[in-house]
Structure 1
């Protein structure tokens, strides 16, 4: 008997502060105006995607003491955007990245519970931590936490938020569709939490959300991040683009689940994925080369090299050879607020490797940055991309993909029109939504063991 086909989960990432969007392209639109978000969300919902995802940066990046203006910079508040999108979509999940280092459980739980009510059960929370004092300067508490404390705070933050969501239980309220929600138990919403990071007690004033709790996403790739995902997350973002790496990552994370009493299907693996489509595979490959050169200008290439060298390299020609001087070690003084800085843990070894590769291939600085940077995950005709995506999922290298188009907001349109119908024909992507909530889309159980009716109100299972 043949193994049943796994469904390909699809989501759409509206890029925020980033270096993947070709914002200089004539087809690119605003990252601030609401119509850009609305167009993007409507396209995703038309293609029956699971959810839309917003990342978030809490401080503008700096380079050489000035705002780094070669990327898209800044975006409106996540909750404000998602609440507005709830009004112009019906089924699409709404996922927001909210930091656990500088926020407080009560306010975040209240915002997500409200969003879940407003959307009829479509909210999700990407729980992240913050790693640097630079970002912390925007907050009263300031500073930053060592990695092990960041994750212990995140774990307690999430467990505390769950206590708040759970403080309203089904046997404590009467949900009346016409008249609203009435208390049956005066203790509904009461909570007391005492722990290492939080010591709070009071009354949570938002009734139980339609999903019980928002769907929980996690994005860390460290040992602590993988363990956190295995214990508490419903889905984890992956950065692995190859089939072999994806299978290894999936196997590693899912082997941790039994320790927490969980099954493999209770945690979805969703890598970010870029794509370039063409009428033929060769046309798509040529377009992909053009996109990469648009994404990596000469100035961008020099700045990227400075992430490793920790020096001002503005005097170097991006179309010339790599510097023959070594990186400066110690505290990074050129780039601030850039995750890439942490990626290069041994700058001397990275510089040596890059020089060797550039010499062997005749690459300039710009060529090297293009060749070693993020590449498009899927390049080809719509048929090639649909087939390759399905192969990844059936091979357990992923459960689906979070698509990051290089043009905003219209870059998702071609995928929705040309690739999604092929996935539907192959029987691996829905043609209609089967339920109203994001948990329905992702195949996740309700925390109460209850289903959610079409009105968004809980009913007995």
Structure 2
């Protein structure tokens, strides 16, 4: 079916509060606090005013380091995810509340209770971005340390999800309906089975007992995951409701979209059951030229010379502070086997030598400096233009199956999303690509799951 012949897809939108990466221009005079609840509240209320599907909060479990010292250009001091989302449940009515929580350094019973409780407190609006970790640096903050081998991270994550599903299902669907008024129903009437009884045995977990939290309103909170490797993609289509896509250009995004849908079908999932959501940012101007100039200015605030060096150090695994950010790429080879120069940053490029070779070819073809290359390869999907141009670009990307929507972030906390809601949202609503009112009562309803 051609794009013109099929129904228009409704765009899914999430609001992303940056804070653990270089996209946040925390030094801007108009930037607000990364810790004060007022910042989280402002962004969540703005997203709900724009009829967004959910608020998304990332999380880092360790302060990142460079050569043994904490990054001096990173935003640090972020509160814990779950208390923030629980507080936001009290000041929003429809917006989904999605948090990043790690399967390597948590336990199924603990997270199942916390997420189930958030789903109850919010009336069915909880979501979980499932992430893994294998590095010893982050593991130093936890009892288990860095024991988990890279190859085992999805093994544990897959079993973790299976265990949490068992826990959420421990109270049968009929039990929560019967119990919803009193909260005191102790046995299922049909067979006398104790409510909440569970048992789960696997290679990673051997747990049993009684689950204390009644079945969540959604049955299970919405699950999001970022899987790019073949193993990550297979895990995502088995366990996730939505997948973060790292692809910024339509052709590669379409290829990823098709591959995920193919894998989902092989896993027995229905068409459209797994949503694809890249992160993105936007820059608006009264004219296209204004927007382009503003984007150039913001990008250079985000990627300073020092930031560019550090971003490339994560791949070279060498100290690049002696190289001019406005000069050519380093003339030395990467050292992927050496002691880590950068600690606490996810490894996005598995083959350092291949990546550096590709970057050198790219820099030669476009005459990029070190900093210009960093601006090119580490940027998000940026929609730049007038409000109508940005609305056109977002709609075209989704309708042509580059994604099912976007998780939008801004360089400015917490007010950066305001102008998108004020100037772009009405244009998307006008063409029928974005809801004008919430119709569902849960996050699953709003996402069409």
Counterpart in 2 of 1:2?
Answer: 5
Render the CA deviation track for 1:6-38: whole Å, top value 9, x for unaligned: 101111111131111111111211111100000
* Cα distance in structure 2, aligned partners of 1:426 and 1:402: 20
Q: Are residue 396 (structure 1) and residue 393 (structure 2) matched? A: no
Counterpart in 2 of 1:143?
Answer: 146
How many Å apart are 1:224 and its aligned residue? 1.0
* Cα distance in structure 1, aligned partners of 2:112 and 2:276: 24
Q: Which runs of 5+ in 2 are unaligned?
A: none
Counterpart in 1 of 2:241?
Answer: 234
Matches within 5 A, 1:20-419: 20-173=23-176, 175=178, 179-185=182-188, 187-339=194-346, 341-343=347-349, 345-347=351-353, 349-359=354-364, 361-419=366-424
Secondary structure, aligned partner of 1:307? helix
* Cα distance in structure 1, aligned partners of 2:372 and 2:402: 30
Q: Are residue 424 (structure 1) and residue 429 (structure 2) matched? A: yes
* Cα distance in structure 1, aligned partners of 2:312 and 2:238: 37
Answer whether contact 2:57 2:98 (CA < 8 A) is retained.
yes
Answer whether contact 2:334 2:352 (CA < 8 A) is retained.
no
How many Å apart are 1:337 and its aligned residue? 1.3
* Cα distance in structure 1, aligned partners of 2:115 and 2:43: 22
Say if 1:261 and 1:358 are closer, same or farther in 2 by CA, change over 3 A: closer
Secondary structure, aligned partner of 1:407? coil
How many Å apart are 1:262 and its aligned residue? 1.4
Render the CA deviation track for 1:198-235: whole Å, top value 9, x for unaligned: 00110100111111110111112111111111112111
Q: Which runs of 5+ in 1 are unaligned?
A: 445-461
How many Å apart are 1:351 and its aligned residue? 3.9
* Cα distance in structure 2, aligned partners of 1:49 and 1:108: 26
Secondary structure, aligned partner of 2:416? helix
Q: Are residue 442 (structure 1) and residue 441 (structure 2) matched? A: no
* Cα distance in structure 1, aligned partners of 2:201 and 2:343: 35
How many Å apart are 1:293 and its aligned residue? 0.5
Say if 1:144 and 1:283 are closer, same or farther in 2 by CA, change over 3 A: farther
Render the CA deviation track for 1:77-98: whole Å, top value 9, x for unaligned: 1101000000010010000111
How many Å apart are 1:68 and its aligned residue? 1.1
Say if 1:375 and 1:10 are closer, same or farther in 2 by CA, change over 3 A: closer
Which 10-residue stretch deviates more, 372-381 or 419-428? 372-381
Render the CA deviation track for 1:354-392: whole Å, top value 9, x for unaligned: 445445544432233223331542111110111111111
Q: Given the two structures, how large is their TM-score scaled by the length of structure 1?
A: 0.91
RMSD of aligned Cα (Å)? 1.8
* Cα distance in structure 1, aligned partners of 2:197 and 2:31: 48
Instruction: State the aligned residue count.
Output: 442
* Cα distance in structure 1, aligned partners of 2:45 and 2:356: 44
Say if 1:144 and 1:414 are closer, same or farther in 2 by CA, change over 3 A: farther
Say if 1:6 and 1:191 are closer, same or farther in 2 by CA, change over 3 A: same
Q: Given the two structures, how large is their TM-score scaled by the length of structure 2?
A: 0.94
How many Å apart are 1:297 and its aligned residue? 1.0
Secondary structure, aligned partner of 2:256? helix
Answer whether contact 1:174 1:183 (CA < 8 A) is retained.
no
How many Å apart are 1:308 and its aligned residue? 3.0
* Cα distance in structure 2, aligned partners of 1:149 and 1:320: 41
* Cα distance in structure 1, aligned partners of 2:296 and 2:229: 31
